[in-house]
């Protein structure tokens, strides 16, 4: 009753195509965004900004990138970290070698470099499907890791590819403080999320899904399948590249190729699976889950089971818990947290009744 959908109709095609068809959804999003921009910067503490909110936003962005590729376009990839690394190192090189280039432009260039790499990685997808594509992206993952480690050029001749980023200055303002980092990340992620939502609801999104569901039928109705797949790879990689640049610049500050190893790719993959494939909102849920669960476990281990569990064992237990959760979600709710959220919302719309 509180959450009734009744009475909300569209009277034009344009209004039916708006981003949020339900007034409630639009209101919720506006509230969240308002709080994120207008309230959190003033009440948050440094720990929350740097250790929780910033990585949460960046991982969500990476999740959106991978989700566009896997959830919407149906192409498997375990090479996400390679695209993130490309974004990070490109942005770094632009910043230190081309003075005067604005920071955000460097991020965008990082994204573009990753997009180009993504398009190349997508070429095999014309002939190769399913698991075989996993191997291609795996090849890319290892290859890129090797390139950034082996070739000192990318890290300005620093041993083992370690780099430290210059201070974060945008339009003359310094964003290096925890609050600054949060705001910078929030702006970039918000804008790119809006774009992703547009894509998902647009003709391009339809083409992605058509290719995902049945690419032969998609070709027969005129969709350029290979071009669509390449575009999916490119756009997805752009997102991962920007996320990588953010991760390296805003979150880490100092990084080497090991920040972008296979386990990072799996981390983003899990975010997408847990959050829900084919959902933009789900990535935020997935990222929150991935980030907060280990913290929760650490707290539980240190407070409730004080001293019984040491750090090393805790890592193993986290692994086990994640593995179990992945399988649990795949069995019980393959559409992820996003679906669970939607089910709750549907319950709310008929509350206090239980069924229609």
- Please identify which residue in 1, 98, 135, 344 interacts with other proteins, judged by CB under 8 A: 135
Picking from 269, 247, 268, 265, the residue whose alpha carbon sits closest to that of residue 256 is 247
* 124 in contact with other proteins (CB under 8 A): yes
* 273 in contact with other proteins (CB under 8 A): yes
* 158 in contact with other proteins (CB under 8 A): no
Picking from 230, 8, 244, the residue whose alpha carbon sits closest to that of residue 133 is 230
- Please identify which residue in 12, 42, 97, 172 interacts with other proteins, judged by CB under 8 A: 12
* Cα–Cα distance, 330 to 40 (Å, whole number): 34
Query: Terminus-to-terminus CA distance in the chain, angstroms?
Result: 12
Residues 320-339 contacting other proteins, CB under 8 A: 320, 322-327, 330-331, 334
Shortest spacing between CB 130 and other proteins, in angstroms:
6
* 23 in contact with other proteins (CB under 8 A): no
Looking at residue 17, the DSSP 8-state letter turns out to be T
Site size for other proteins, by CB under 8 A? 69
- The helix or strand, by DSSP H or E, that contains position 247, with its residue range, turns out to be none
Helix ranges (H only) for the chain are 13-16, 23-34, 40-43, 46-47, 54-67, 80-97, 103-122, 131-150, 178-201, 203-213, 215-220, 225-246, 262-275, 281-303, 311-332, 336-350
Beta bridge partners of 210: none
- Please identify which residue in 27, 316, 347, 348 interacts with other proteins, judged by CB under 8 A: 316
* 231 in contact with other proteins (CB under 8 A): yes
* 142 in contact with other proteins (CB under 8 A): yes
- Please identify which residue in 216, 304, 308, 310 interacts with other proteins, judged by CB under 8 A: 216
Q: Which is nearer to other proteins, 76 or 165 (CB)?
A: 76
* 269 in contact with other proteins (CB under 8 A): yes
* 134 in contact with other proteins (CB under 8 A): yes
* 169 in contact with other proteins (CB under 8 A): no
Residues 276-295 contacting other proteins, CB under 8 A: 278
Report phi then psi at 340, rounded to 5. -60, -45
Q: Which is nearer to other proteins, 53 or 231 (CB)?
A: 231
Output the six-digit token pair for 247.
């991760």
* 76 in contact with other proteins (CB under 8 A): yes
* Cα–Cα distance, 50 to 103 (Å, whole number): 19
CB within 8 A of 192, min separation 6: which ones? 61, 64, 239, 242
* Cα–Cα distance, 159 to 336 (Å, whole number): 42
Shortest spacing between CB 266 and other proteins, in angstroms:
7
Binding span for other proteins by CB under 8 A among 33-41, 108-116, 213-221, 347-355: 213-221
* Cα–Cα distance, 48 to 214 (Å, whole number): 44
- Please identify which residue in 91, 204, 268, 290 interacts with other proteins, judged by CB under 8 A: 204
* 172 in contact with other proteins (CB under 8 A): no
Picking from 283, 128, 137, 278, the residue whose alpha carbon sits closest to that of residue 209 is 278
- Please identify which residue in 33, 139, 170, 297 interacts with other proteins, judged by CB under 8 A: 139
* 223 in contact with other proteins (CB under 8 A): yes
Output b/e per residue, 252-279; b: 16+ Cβ within 10 A. beebbbebbbbebbebbbbbbbbbbbbb
- Please identify which residue in 25, 41, 51, 149 interacts with other proteins, judged by CB under 8 A: 149
Shortest spacing between CB 84 and other proteins, in angstroms:
17
Output the six-digit token pair for 92.
């770094």
Q: Which is nearer to other proteins, 165 or 200 (CB)?
A: 200
Contact positions vs other proteins (CB under 8 A): 12-14, 16-17, 76, 124, 127-128, 130-132, 134-136, 138-139, 142-143, 145-146, 149-151, 195, 198-199, 202-204, 206-207, 209-210, 212-214, 216-225, 231, 262, 266, 269, 273, 278, 312-313, 316-320, 322-327, 330-331, 334
């Amino acid at each position: 009753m509180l959450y009734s959908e009744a009475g909300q109709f569209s009277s034009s095609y344009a209004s039916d195509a708006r981003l949020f068809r339900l007034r409630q959804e639009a209101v919720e999003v506006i509230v969240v965004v308002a709080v994120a921009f207008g309230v959190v910067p003033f009440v948050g503490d440094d720990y929350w900004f740097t250790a929780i909110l910033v990585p949460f936003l960046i991982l969500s962005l990476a999740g959106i990138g991978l989700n566009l590729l896997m959830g919407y376009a149906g192409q498997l990839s375990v090479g996400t970290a390679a695209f993130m690394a490309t974004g990070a190192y490109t942005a770094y090189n632009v910043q230190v070698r081309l003075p005067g280039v604005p920071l955000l432009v460097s991020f965008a260039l990082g994204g573009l470099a990753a997009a180009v790499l993504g398009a190349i990685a997508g070429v095999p997808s014309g002939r190769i499907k399913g698991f075989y594509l996993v191997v291609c992206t795996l090849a890319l993952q290892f290859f890129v890791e090797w390139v950034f480690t082996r070739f000192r050029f990318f890290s300005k001749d620093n041993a083992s590819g370690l780099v430290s980023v210059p201070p974060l200055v945008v339009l003359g303002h310094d964003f290096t403080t925890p609050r600054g980092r949060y705001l910078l990340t929030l702006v970039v992620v918000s804008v790119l999320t809006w774009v992703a939502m547009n894509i998902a609801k647009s003709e391009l999104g339809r083409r992605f899904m058509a290719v995902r569901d049945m690419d032969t039928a998609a070709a027969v109705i005129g969709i350029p399948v290979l071009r669509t797949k390449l575009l999916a790879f490119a756009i997805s990689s752009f997102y991962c590249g920007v996320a990588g640049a953010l991760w390296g610049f805003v979150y880490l500050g100092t990084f080497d190729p090991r920040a972008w190893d296979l386990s990072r790719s799996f981390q983003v993959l899990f975010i997408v699976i847990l959050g829900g494939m084919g959902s933009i909102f789900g990535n935020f849920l997935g990222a929150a889950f991935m980030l907060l669960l280990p913290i929760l476990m650490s707290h539980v281990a240190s407070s409730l089971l004080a001293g019984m569990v040491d750090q090393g064992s805790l890592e193993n237990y986290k692994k086990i818990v994640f593995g179990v959760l992945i399988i649990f979600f795949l069995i019980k709710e393959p559409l992820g947290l996003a679906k669970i959220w939607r089910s709750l919302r549907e319950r709310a719309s008929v509350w206090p009744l239980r069924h229609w």
